[in-house]
Amino acid sequence: MTTTADPVSPRIGQGSAALPDSGGHFGRFGGRFMPEALIAPLDELELAWREAMTDETFIAELDRMLRDYAGVPSLLYDAGRLSTAAGGTRMLLKREDLNHTGAHKVRNVLGQALLTKRMGKTRVIAETGAGQHGVATATACAYLDLDCVVYMGEVDIERQALNVARMRMLGARVVPVNTGSRTLKDAINEALRDWVSNVDDTHYLLGTAAGAHPFPAMVRDFTRAIGDEARAQVLDLTGRLPDAVCACVGGGSNAIGIFTAFVADADVALYGFEAGGEGVATGRHAATITGGDVGVLHGARSYLLQDADGQTVESHSISAGLDYPGVGPEHAWLAESGRATYRPVTDAEAMTAMALLCRTEGIICAIESAHAVAGALDVARELGPDATVLINLSGRGDKDMHTAAEWFDLVDASGEVTYAATAETGAPGADGGAGSTR
């Protein structure tokens, strides 16, 4: 059963949060650890964003783009068969996977791209890991007639050739980054170097709720309608608030997007699921809050994966979108204040949950979102059958079929699809091995 969002307003920028403070701090996290040359551009951006958020014309234009172009508000879906598999707990899916470009990211990207126009800038740069944020940015730039340059690590370019083609198809220039670990964090470094050199005509369209102030707060503003919509949709459907809200956390934009509307609802538990990779104990993971320490990376104080000398350590996850050694500062604050709970979900647990959602609901979600599904199934078990659990299904899994096909051994040498055994029960993660283990 689905419910449309009406009369939910997709309105952006409603409400206001107490944090961050004027310096961009969430408790001891956040702030601005940036070269002085970028402080004035960050101030300019903050001013433009705050003014835009009180400008009815800007809000109306963004609302129109989100509604007519991106397909927002997204559906809330009452996942009956998943609920049965979860032991009776009512599982509600916020279908961000149905948005144009296939994920929640379009909300942030359209917001920042429209802000770019408002600031009179003509060029947009972005970083991308798996290519999803790059594709979304290239899409928005095509739509709004902006020049687009996407920085992408050489390692990621090799892993995500199809998304490179998508970005180029959309008219973006994809610049390979061959420094450091040649992955997402180095792409961010290179985008920052570009920004400081070209800031007069260029906006850095950061893809997540991380980085220096005002990015974490601004990206939250552009994504918080996920939770505003979902909260009203859940009330409309069930007559009460959910018992728990679940989301995956890489940098944290989809999670902060759905959490924000519920932060003041003390009875609603908030769960963020980090990429546990091969297991936090193995050291090969991206579970920054669970397995990292407090430090400074990419402009903010937060949790990060670092060695004894404060050098950034490479993260590992089967999900490229969660494969980042940092996390947004507001999540660090929500974790430290106890308002939200962060847990790791391993590659195997996520893939099992992905398969379960496919077989019970006919929905192929992104591997990122599968971390939220896996974690939510554990939460459901803890809360019991009377509970309602809201999951942010942040993206769709088309992009992940190569990874899934390898993981589940779906394509044999002859090219035939073989139906490997997948999760038969509602207890994914119990054996960590739907289909073949790897």
Partner 1 sequence: MTPVATALASARNDGRAALVGYLPAAYPSVDGSIAAIQAMVEGGCDAIEVGLPYSDPVMDGPTIQRAAERALAGGARTSDTLRVVEAVAATGVPVLVMTYWNPVERYGVERFAADLTAAGGAGLITPDLVPEEAGEWVAAADAHALDKVFLVAPSSTPERIASTAASCRGFVYATSVMGVTGTRDVTSTLAPELVARVRALTDLPVGVGLGVRDGQQAAEVAGFADAVIVGSAFVAQLLDAGADHAAGIEAVRTLTVDLAAGVRSAAGVRAAT
How far is it, in rounded angstroms, from Cα 186 to Cα 191?
Answer: 9
Under rule CB under 8 A, residue 308 binds partner 1 = yes
CB 20 within 8 A of CB 292: no
Catalytic residue among 96, 127, 274, 368: 127
Spatial strand order of the sheet with 123-128 comes to: 173-177, 147-153, 123-128, 202-204
Q: Determine, following the binding rule CB under 8 A, whether residue 182 of this chain makes contact with partner 1.
A: no
Nearest CB to partner 1, comparing residues 25 and 107: 25
Taking the C-alpha atoms of residue 64 and residue 433, their distance in angstroms, rounded to an integer, is: 44
Site for partner 1 in 278-297 (CB under 8 A): 293, 295-297
CB of 327 to partner 1, least distance (A): 15
Residue 283 has a CB neighbour count (10 Å cut-off) of 12
Residue 404 interacts with partner 1 (CB under 8 A): yes or no: no
Q: Which of 74, 112, 139, 189 binds partner 1 (CB under 8 A)?
A: 189
| Residue 41 or 426 with smaller CB distance to partner 1 | 41
- Is 183 a binding residue for partner 1 by CB under 8 A? The answer is no
Distance of CA 245 to CAs 193, 375, 424, Å?
A: 37, 11, 25
Those residues with Cβ within 8 angstroms of residue 266's Cβ, 6 or more apart along the chain or in another chain:
none
Size of the site for partner 1 (CB under 8 A): 34
Question: Chain-centre distance of CA 347, in angstroms?
Answer: 17
- Active site (annotated) includes residue 181: no
Is 312 a binding residue for partner 1 by CB under 8 A? The answer is yes
177 binds partner 1 (CB under 8 A): no
**120 part of the interface to partner 1, by CB under 8 A:** no
Cβ density class 60-90: b for 16+ within 10 Å, e for less: ebbbebbeeebbbbbbbbbbeebbebbeebb
Q: Which of 74, 83, 96, 105 is catalytic?
A: 105
Is 105 one of the catalytic residues?
A: yes
Q: Which is nearer to partner 1, 190 or 243 (CB)?
A: 190
C-alpha to C-alpha distance for 229 and 198, rounded to whole angstroms:
37
Establish whether 394 is a catalytic residue: yes
**CB 211 → partner 1: shortest distance, Å?**
11
Which residues, including other chains, have CB under 8 Å from residue 398's CB and lie 6 or more apart?
Answer: 102, 364
Binder of partner 1 out of 68, 311, 415, 416 (CB under 8 A):
311
Residue from 56, 68, 267, 309 that binds partner 1 (CB under 8 A)? Answer: 309
Contacts of 40 (CB under 8 A, 6+ apart): none
Active site residues: 105, 127, 394
**Where does this chain bind partner 1 (CB under 8 A)?**
23, 31-41, 179-180, 185-186, 189, 192-193, 196-197, 199, 293, 295-299, 306, 308-312
